[in-house]
Chain A
Amino acid sequence: MTKIGLEIHCQLTKLESKLFCSCKANYRIYEPNSIICPVCVGLPGSLPRLNKKAVEKAVMISIALGCKIPPKIGFFRKNYFYPDLPKNFQITQYNAHGPISIGYDGKIQIEDREIRIRRIQLEEDPGRLVYEGISEKTQVTLVDYNRAGTPLVEIVTEPDFTNPKQVRLFLNILSDLVENLDVSEPDLEGAIRVDGNVSIEKGNRIEIKNVGSFRDIEKALQFEIIRQQSLADRNIPIPAETRHWDEARKITVSARSKEEEQDYRYLPEADIPVVVIEKTTLDKLKKEMPESIISKKDRYVKKYGIPLQVAEVLSSDKFYSDLFEKAHNEKNAKEIANLITTDLKGFADTREQRKQLKITAKHLSDLADAIMNNEITRNSAKTALQEMANTGKSLPEIISSLDLGHVDDDIMLSKIIDEVFIEEQKAVSEAKTNPETINYIVGKIMRKTQGKANPSHTLDIIKKKLDLQ
């Protein structure tokens, strides 16, 4: 049977400062090597100062993933030489001598499958290497230490996946979860990075590293399974090794064999005293944690009668569920959920699009109320929503400027209906016997009024004109 396990690196992008110093953590927006200090570039004599907030955020992730939290957490040094690693060791956690990492023995449910979490550890991200120059000969390696020391949580699963599709599903759930916890922004480039381990029946374990994007891990795993199977089919042994994902060619290539594995010479990090996690701290953090996606979903369904599918979409999307929470009341909740999931999400789904939205909670609740009070058709509401999102104008302003109010005036409506009756004589004669055709005529009228005709009122007039009452 195919077995897949994952190692997920998730940056705690919502933290202000780095893991062991007070330098800013949002390295993406700064000039290279401009947010560094003696601690994060490992100058002689500097010492790490543990960011307590990072510990709290990591504990929240552990709780959310059903992990046990040890009473004492500690740090280790992982020693290896690499130019992006200023101290030539990484401060991380290591459970080989007993659980001291921020979480262990967790689990998460994906559909009907339980994925066990082996451990969750808090660690520092290294710097970033930038390669410049065209040919190999002229290439230079530049180092940007802005990222060095930014807080990272590594989540290690047991090999509980049997196919890459489950992996994608898991990663989607996980990234919604960390976003909902307000600890990370999965849309940021490099905020979540995934390594995978794959083995097929009786085969050795292969580690896949260097997978740049979230989507590529599924492809890389898929490729790797097929590669291993084709070796097995020809009775060629599958050596245990680390393989890199070649993004351009969409294949995995051998990086190093098991014999070449690094010996990290783990050593306790004596500069950071053991952190005692008291029960009171745990209770406090549990209280501070945002409502889970599952609990939100249940509440949306039970309390507001929102359809399950809509509730699922809404609850797993922190941005829009936050907007929903601010906008809704008990009466208009369902309508707002609809507006968000069917209309708003349709034209503002990416991070960039969302950032530009000028819409507020009040916009949404006003719009939902207008729909429910029959002041505007659903069709016009969609137009209004788009206008609100683009301009931030209020609903009354938009209704008057775009002329979106209902055409409710009897004389006006009657005139339009007469016009349609002339254009659609065949349909009109059919309509007397076939109710379906009436809907067709209503549709024509809607088109003529750009969706502004009050539907029930229109139907009444048509029926009257056709003597159907």
Chain B
Amino acid sequence: MNQVKTFVVGSTIALSMASFSSFAGTNDDPAFPDVTIADTCTIDAMGVTFAFGTFPVGSADITDMVAGSVAINCVAATAYTWGVDGGSNWDGASRNMSNVPDLIAYTVELTDGTPVGDLGINAVDASYTDTTTIAAQTGVGTGAIQSINLQADAAISTAPGGYYIDMVTFTVAWP
């Protein structure tokens, strides 16, 4: 990621220098303008919580648990793709919280039930490796924070006792 950011700054400096040299009568000495390049997009998952809670053995599966919101802020009119990876225990079909050797499968969804994965982010940035078979989501920046509410399901009805945990990463990519 740092290498990408370095490339962005270097490109801008080169562009600025080219612009300077295009003005007739100006000093052609090399210049090193001090520039700050703001990120085109940011994504903040601090408002997301997949804390399903504590339940007795044999409890019913959890459906549509409110899971907070992810905040995305992109420069106006910037088309972006965002998603959630498969976490630490993706099994090829679903995410899982783990209490070795037991697993609890869970989902990450929009509030309309649409599952959220990261499939397709690789098509925007080839340096990213898609980790799920679930489609990523898309949006268009407005220049302001866009909060996207999430919900989650967890299949706990057959889970043995124990503490289960997983970690997922939210990603936004833009061309």
User: Do chains A and B interact in one complex?
Assistant: no
